[in-house]
Structure formats: C-alpha cells, structure tokens
Structure 1
Amino acid sequence: MAKGERKRAVRGRAGRMKGGRGSGKATSGHVRLWGRHPVEAALMNPARQHRKLWATREGIAALDGELPPDFPVEFADVTDLARLVAKDAPHQGLVLECEPLEDVFLDNVANGDPARPIILLDQVTDPHNVGAILRSAAAFGAAAIVTQDRHAPPEGGVLAKSASGALETVPWVRVVNLARALGELAEAGYWRIGLAGEAEATLAEALSAGPLAIVLGAEGEGMRYNIAQHCDALARLPITSAIESLNVSNAAAIALYAVSTRGGG
C-alpha cells in the first residue's frame, strides 16, 4: 500500500490495544524517584499519586513551587538519602516514593494528533537509553513511546533521572506483542519506518506526510526480523563511515528532529 493511501481508523472502535505498566514494578508495587527534575515533574503531575518525600532542606528549597501543607515529608541528610536510591545516584537532596503511573493504551495515542510521531523500541532494555528517548520525545513533540512489556526497563529512578521529567509528560505504552502493535498502527493509518543501518534509503527519503511510527532496535542486534517485516520501509541515518553506528537514544533524537522538520524549507 503506498504512502498516504491508508485511512485513519475511526475513533472509538471497540476494544483497546493491550498494553500498560503491568510488570517490572518494585516488589512493594511503588516507584522511587530521585533528583530535582524527576521529583519536581512527578509532584506537578496530577495523574501521579504520591506516598512520601524524603528530602534535605536545601532540596526542598530548590523545588519550583510549594508543597501542600499536609504533604508527607521526612527531612534527612545526604547520607541517609543515599541509602534510599541506587548506588552513587545523584539524588540532589530529593527522593520521592509514589504509585506507578496508570496504564496507557495504544488507541489513546494512535487516534491523536497525526502530526506527532510515535516511537517504538524493539528490546531496548537500558533504562538510561529509554529515559533519554523519552526526553527527546518530549522535546520534539512525539505522541508516545511504545515498548514490549517483557523487554523494556521498569518505570523507576534511573530511567526517570535520564528522562529529566519527561516520564511524567510523554505517554509510555507497554504492549504484549510489538508486531501486533505495528499492525494496529497500520490500521490507524501510520506509515511505519524501521531504522536499520543496512537500509538503502535514507530517513529523509522514507518520510511521508502522514502519521509516522519510527521503530528502533536494540544496539548491536538492531530490530528483530519479524519487527522489520512489519515496517512499511527501512531507512538509515546518513552517517559517515568513520563510525559504525549511533547510540539508540542519539538515533532517536536525530529521527525525531528529521520528522519535526519534514516539509520545511
């Protein structure tokens, strides 16, 4: 089927695409975030349910805005906070325990603004990379990121710190089957482009004017064969032979920039 020929799916069709933050949570079922930007963004997110904030007085003073008078805060020193987070994590005097975000379903974002791309990650498991991709997604106005539930990092402090607040603003859809999700996006009118270093076409050549889904695979292995088969086109970033490949988060940022400037002068 040629670019632009698909019709977008009708809103409100029966059923929901499977997905959500159903796995990878801490044993307690809670999420612990640290650092000024992640904690501040979580505190400002009305969809986030908070349980407790551990903080130094300097950390509280650095927050943008005031906490409600009844907000549960326990003041602690820097060494005490270090025991609550990952080893050597830069907590900046703030550690927040909260509930995981509610599930996000693919049809909630697939029927949204067609100008905003959707990023799909095939077995990208490093929380630093997924966090950085969330940050780029926020910067360039992506509609969502989509990952396979069993092959993606959990929502947590390391990822949130790398996302620098974007975990609270960019919808994150976790699906059972990524190939099936790509099929659903095709039905919704998305042109699906998989980034692959061996592709003949460049990303600029593969871009279309309609809704776009950009697929990125894990570093080293790249996209799985079955996932590549569910793409409408494969494309590469036009990097020189001086380097073999880019970090997946860097590739995502460049792809999102290319999408944001398509059709520009």
Structure 2
Amino acid sequence: MTDPGPDADPLAAWRRYAGPCVLLDGFHALKHALRFGAEVPVAVTGDRAGALALAEELAPDVRDALDGLLAEVGQEAYASLVPRPHPTAVAALAVRPSRAAGLRALAHRPRRTPVVVLDQPRNLGNAGAVIRLAAGFGATGVVTTGPLDPWHPTVVRGGAGLHFATAVERLDVGELPAGPVFALDPEGEDIRGLRLPDDALLAFGSERSGLSRELRARADHLVALPMRPQVSSYNLATSVAMTLYHWSATGDAPRVP
C-alpha cells in the first residue's frame, strides 16, 4: 500500500483506502495506533488546531506525527466519512496487520504473557473492551472463535485503537496456539487458589451460553471467579479484567514503571 503523499486530496485518499483499511474512530484510537506502529495512510479532522492542541496536552509523544498526518477537511466533510462523528472530530484509516504476523505472534514460544480466548462471543462492544484490557496488561493476544469478526469497526472502536498493541485473530478451537487452557466456568476451581502460568490460554465463554463443547473439551483446567450466591454472572470484560489482574498479581507479569 503506497502513501498518497502530503499534497493529495485527503477525501480522494480516504475513498482509495476505505475498503482495505481499518477505521480509527477518534483522537484516542489514532493516538494508540500510532504509538504501536500502525501504518496510517490517511487521517482527517474537522478541527486540526483542536486536535493538535489535544495532542500537546494528552499525547505529546505523537504530536509531530499527527502534525504530519492530519488533514483538515471541515466538519461536514469529516462527518460524511464516519458512521457516527466522534467528539474529537478525528478519523483515520490504518492498514490491518497481516494474519501471518498475528499467527506468528500467537505461536511464538516461549510465551511470556497469556493469550485471551473469547469463545463464541456475541457482543461487539464487549469484544473491543477485552482487546483494550489485553493490551493494557501486555497480553500476547486475543483470539475469538465463532462468527464474530474481532476487526469489525464496532470492535475496533471499543478497543480504542489498541488492536495494534496486541495480536488479534479469529481461529477455530482446533487452531488455538499451544499452551495450557484455563477456562472460566462457575463449576471450576476458585481462581484465588491458583497461579496462572505466563503461557496460559485464558478462555471465556459467550455472554449467553458459556463455554462451547469444543472449548470445554480442550480445557486443561476449569476456573471460577468469586461470586456472591444468586448472582448469575459478570460482564465478559469484567471477567477478563479480574482474571488478567489475578495473573498479573501472582505470576511474572511485566511491572508497570
């Protein structure tokens, strides 16, 4: 994919790249994507001065990159390019990492941080929130099984551009990377008595029906989160956050400076 060049019409460039690229919706999604090495061929804004002022305040590390990328197109033109205008009036298109690169990252051994597996997820926003969590904890990646596309625009919006900070792929259960599978299930062993290994696959069932038969058969351990009796379940992203925190507190997770 070639750079359209600084003098190109940004709207024409947008139309050129919109098909094969991933929409980065808002300043923070673009900020995160740039921090983690995304290739961004076009970025537009309805308020260039406002976007650069925001960068000066919140993300000075990417301010110069944004200065070179952002093309002001006016509020009306900006709004015509996105499904729902973002309050920061910033949008960009980024090249999706290759599947081969994602699979290499997931398969690399020794693996020093877990892989999060979402088994047959249904909610796009929850999937995006999980990817944001996984990136924050430095997880190796997030794998989904089933029909949900983890690169769907709604998932990317929920992930705030952090798809580029971790490997994100869709696989069948039989294609999961090697490693012990710790699957969350109400009938499992209390997580508070366990140490989750760094190379674990942490698997979470769907919001409605729990673990699939295939994933349950693949699991090495069933693990339960502490929960008050008569409470049915936690939100998916909450369950992932609790589990990743337990791993980080009991294993060899990288420490935040």
Give the alignment's TM-score, normalised by structure 1: 0.75
Distance 1:249 1:238, change over 3 A: same
Which residue in the other structure is 1:181 paired with? 175
Name the residue aligned to 2:73.
75
Q: Compared with structure 1, are the counterparts of its residues 27 and 218 closer, same or farther at alpha carbon in structure 2 (3 Å cutoff)?
A: farther
**Runs of at least 5 residues in structure 2 that lack an aligned partner in the other structure:** 1-16, 253-257
- Deviation, structure 1 residue 263: 5.3
- Do the aligned residues in 1 keep the contact of 2:142 with 2:169 (CA within 8 Å)? yes
Superposed CA deviations along residues 97-156 of structure 1, whole A, max 9, x for unmatched, are 2332222343433324533111111111322111111111122221111123x5223525
Give 1 or 2: higher helix fraction.
2
One-letter code aligned to 1:50: P
CA distance in 2, matches of 1:68, 1:142: 27
Q: 1:154 to 1:139 in 2, by over 3 A?
A: closer
From the superposition, tell whether residues 84 and 180 of structure 1 become closer, same or farther in structure 2 (CA, over 3 Å): same
Structure 1 runs not aligned, ≥5 long = 1-25
Paired residues for 1:75-94 under 5 Å: 75-77=73-75, 79-87=76-84, 89-94=85-90
TM-superposition CA deviations, 1:195-225 (whole Å, max 9, x none): 112x141123454446211001110111111
Greater CA drift, 219-228 or 33-42? 33-42
**What does residue 46 of structure 1 align with?**
37
Q: 2:199 aligns with which of 204, 211, 216?
A: 211
Task: Please tell me the residue identity of whatever aligns with 2:106.
Answer: V
1:37 to 21, 24, 28: 28
Percent identical pairs in the alignment equals 21
Q: Residue 246 of structure 1: which of 230, 234, 247 is its match?
A: 234
In the alignment, what sits opposite 1:18? none
Cα distance in 2 between the residues matched to 1:62 and 1:140: 25
1:196 counterpart letter in structure 2: D
Contact map agreement 2:119 2:203 (CA 8 A) in 1: yes
RMSD, matched Cα: 2.6
Moved more, 233-242 or 218-227: 233-242
Q: Does 1:101 align with 2:97?
A: yes
Report 1 or 2 for greater relative contact order, CA contacts < 8 Å, sequence distance ≥ 6.
Answer: 1
Contact 1:126-1:153 at 8 Å conserved across structures? no
Give the TM-score normalised by structure 2. Answer: 0.77
CA 1:159/1:55 → structure 2, altered by over 3 Å: closer, same or farther? farther
**Matched length:** 228
Measured at CA, do residues 93 and 112 of structure 1 come closer, stay the same or move farther in structure 2, by a change above 3 Å?
A: farther
Alignment partner of 1:230 out of 194, 200, 218: 218
- Secondary structure of 2:142's counterpart equals strand
| Correspondence 1:196 to 2:185 | yes
Rounded to whole Å, the distance in 1 between the matches of 2:243 and 2:18 is 36
